[in-house]
Amino acid sequence: MTQVLEQIAEVAGYLWQQGWGERNGGNLTVNLTGFFTTDVSKGEPHPLGVTLPHIAGQYFYVKGTQKRMRDLARKPMENGCIIRITDDGTAYRPVDDFVPPTSELPSHLMVQDYLRQCGSRYTATLHTHPIELVALSHHRDLLDDTERPNRLTRTLWSMIPETLAFAPLGIGIVPYEVPGSVELAEATLKKIRDYDVVLWEKHGVFAVGQDIMDAFDQVDVLNKAARIYLDALTYTAAHPDSQPEGMTGEAMRDVQRIFRLPKQRPC
């Protein structure tokens, strides 16, 4: 378990360094069930407000509410805590000192419940505020999510070959909802069935991964493409006749062939 906690701390440091984790911004959970054999939770149960039967009895590391990523990077157990979901799936109890969990707990645990339900090997969920992706989420013309791949995904894929190669599912779009709300969690749950990363309009992203580094990498690859796109558009601002070209359809098909895409979701 030490290794998993060290990886969580490492990723928290990257989130801060990238400028994606201002103040208490962002949160994460990692399933730690494999490290526990008996019920070691204690104290009063804290109701979840929903029933999550597929993660009943499971253990999670959860970032604490109002805690800073930059502090979590040094001291994960002071800025988050391990919880166990009660056997009836309606509440949780802490395992050690209680640090109240993130305000986005509904999204994280509802998605974790879905991942267990479908037998996924994914263990981690991540919410963060990547600057360039959030900037693009203010542009209505990029938020149309009726086609697959959607327009934002096609734009990002066409920036560098690696985006398509390493984020082959693209990015789903979740219309704006109040942070921390069950509505946001439900909208996220709907989209995450098809994507590893979804964009929370005018707020941030929510990602899932085999571990927390995997979830971070997915966001990092997509945000890198968003940054390149925005940088190219600053050239357009000075030279209005020159639009970013993007990779050709043929070049993108080559990437798909060489990397044997699309990759399948684990559920």
Site of interaction with ligand 2HA (CB under 6 A): 24-27, 102-104, 127, 179
Closest distance to Zn ion from the beta carbon of 160 (Å): 27
Could you tell me which residues are beta bridge partners of residue 197? 207
Binding positions for Zn ion, 50-79, rule CB under 5 A: none
CA atoms within 13 A on the CB side of 234: 5
Least distance CB 27 / ligand 2HA (angstroms) = 5
The nearer residue to ligand 2HA, 7 or 102, going by C-beta atoms, is 102
Closest residue to ligand 2HA in the complex (CB): 179
155 binds, among ligand 2HA, Zn ion, none (CB under 5 to 8 A by kind): none
Query: Can you give the length of the chain in residues?
Result: 267
> Which is nearer to ligand 2HA, 79 or 158 (by Cβ)?
79
Alpha helices in 118-206 (DSSP H): 131-136, 151-157, 161-166, 182-192
* Beta carbon nearer to Zn ion, 12 or 252: 12
Give bridge partners of residue 206 from the DSSP assignment.
Answer: 127, 198
**Contact call for residues 212 and 8 (beta carbons, < 8 A):** yes
Is 25 or 149 the residue whose CB approaches ligand 2HA more closely?
A: 25
Asked if 170 interacts with Zn ion (CB under 5 A), we say: no
Choose the one of ligand 2HA, Zn ion, none that binds residue 223, judging by a C-beta under 5 to 8 angstroms depending on kind.
Answer: none
Cis omega (within 30 of 0) on the bond before 266? no
Q: Which is nearest to 66 in space by CA: 14, 30, 102?
A: 102
61 burial (CB, 10 Å; 0-12 / 13-18 / 19+) is: buried
Minimum CB distance to ligand 2HA smaller for 86 or for 104: 104
Q: Is 104 a catalytic residue?
A: yes
Q: Binding residue for Zn ion (CB under 5 A) from 64, 89, 168, 204?
A: 204
Please choose which of ligand 2HA, Zn ion, none residue 27 contacts, taking the beta carbon within 5 to 8 angstroms, the exact cut-off set by kind. Answer: ligand 2HA
Write down the least CB distance from residue 3 to Zn ion, Å. 27
> Whose CA is closest to 188, among 167, 168, 171, 166?
171
In sequence order, the 6+-apart residues with CB closer than 8 A to the CB of 166 are 217, 218, 221
Catalytic site residue from 104, 147, 183, 245: 104
Amino acid at 52: L
Instruction: Please give the residue whose beta carbon sits closest to Zn ion in the complex.
Output: 204
Scanning 137-145, 169-177, 201-209, 231-239 for contacts with Zn ion by CB under 5 A, the matching segment is: 201-209
DSSP for 55-116, written as a single string: GTT-EEEEEBTT--HHHHTT-TTTSEEEEEE-TTSSEEEESSS--PBPTTHHHHHHHHHHHH
SS3 91: strand
In the complex, minimum distance from the CB of residue 233 to ligand 2HA, in angstroms, rounded to a whole number: 27
Active site residues: 104
Give the interface with Zn ion as residue ranges (CB under 5 A). Answer: 204
